[in-house]
Amino acid sequence: MNNKTLALMTLLLLSGCATTNQNNDGLSDIKAPGAGAIKPTNATEASMLIAQSQTSGNPDAMIYAYRQALEFKPFNKADIYLNIARLEQQRNNNSQAEEAYRLAMASDSKRPELKESLALLLVDMKRHQEADTLLQEVISADRARLNAASADSAECVTDNQSPWRSYNGLGLLSDIREQGEQAREYYQCALKIQPGLAMLHTNLGFSYYLEGEYPQAERALTRAVNQDPEYRRAWSNLGLMYYRWGRKSEALAALRKNGTQAEALNDLGYIALMEGANEEATGLFQRAIDASPRYYPRAVANLNQAKSMTTANKRR
């Protein structure tokens, strides 16, 4: 390792102050640890800076390193912007993530995964119509790839390269709009592409649950936990569904998969509370407190809330 390389890596390791990045890369200014201390002069140094920032695990350092790489031709700009966007999204900096996704799309308009990633971010940002438009464009492009553009638009035409995330995203949007039948068609399309993904079976099951179709919901959610016994959301949804179905012992058993008996009782109590069954919730929270080997502040707070709501209801 030559002296210049050693100095570069040492500076990165020792830098700790925050300075403003003034790169002319189309992105809003950010603050990154040591941003003013290191500025690579060629692609090799930029690659080293990226590698070292990844080793550090510091998101600010990684974003700064990626932004420096934009100055050098060997790097694919769309990939760099995509990495920046994902880091910003992980930190819930949604406006910065959106900005980076759009720059990635501008750098390479032929990559559908860039449009899909932006659309899914917009779903999280509750900009549903914009997200819907982009996801439909991704699916239309995939249908054209499969020479299915002239087929019935409701027909699910996919292969193992099709954008299952887009179908899932459209399913979520349809459920938000209370278009359950349409949502389930989208989830089924996604499952044709990724049949073993517990998350998709869970979304399908929850869609059935929202419509009160409990036997179908049970089948889908059971498939989810069979695919991934550690998938907490599937067990939580099973617990919620069983409670609504009146199968409360099974609801407790499902919630027990996510934690201790005390935690399951507390979670079941919270479901009862949200359903307006305040007295039942009070009993479940008390059982959770009794079942816990140590002080359980969350159950105590929930118990007090349930008692207050019961008292308020009696005064009406």
- Taking only the tens place, the pLDDT of each residue in 60-110 is 999 999 999 999 999 999 999 999 999 999 999 999 999 999 999 999 999
User: What's the pLDDT at 35?
Assistant: 44
The pLDDT, as a whole number, for residue 5 is: 40
- Using pLDDT thresholds of 50, 70 and 90, give the confidence band for residue 9: very low
Rg (CA), the chain: 25
Give alpha helix (H) positions in the chain: 3-14, 43-56, 59-69, 77-90, 94-107, 112-124, 128-145, 164-176, 180-193, 198-210, 214-227, 232-245, 248-256, 261-274, 278-291, 297-314
Selection from 280, 291, 246 nearest residue 306 by Cα: 280
C-alpha distances in Å from residue 21, one per residue of 12, 24, 38, 61, 254:
15, 9, 11, 11, 50
Model confidence at 253, in pLDDT bands (50, 70, 90)? very high
Q: Over the stretch 116-170, which tens digit does the pLDDT of each residue have?
A: 999 999 999 999 999 999 999 999 999 999 998 665 556 899 999 999 999 999 9
pLDDT band for position 310 (50/70/90)?
confident
pLDDT band at 37 (very low <50, low <70, confident <90, very high): low
Position 148 scores a pLDDT of: 80
Residue type at 230 in one-letter notation = E
Taking a C-beta distance cutoff of 8 angstroms, is the pair 105, 116 a contact? Answer: no
Structure tokens at 149: 């553009």
Band of the pLDDT at 27, cuts 50, 70, 90?
Answer: confident
Record the pTM: 0.84
From residue 109, how far is each of 85, 214, 304 by CA, in Å?
16, 43, 55
Placement of tokens 């039948």 in the chain: 181
Of 167, 170, 233, which is closest to residue 206 (Cα–Cα)? 233
Angle between helices 77-90 and 94-107 (to 10 degrees): 170
Range in 18-22, 70-74, 175-179 the model is least confident about: 18-22
Give the residue from 285, 225, 230 showing the smallest Cα distance to 250: 225
pLDDT band at 14 (very low <50, low <70, confident <90, very high): very low
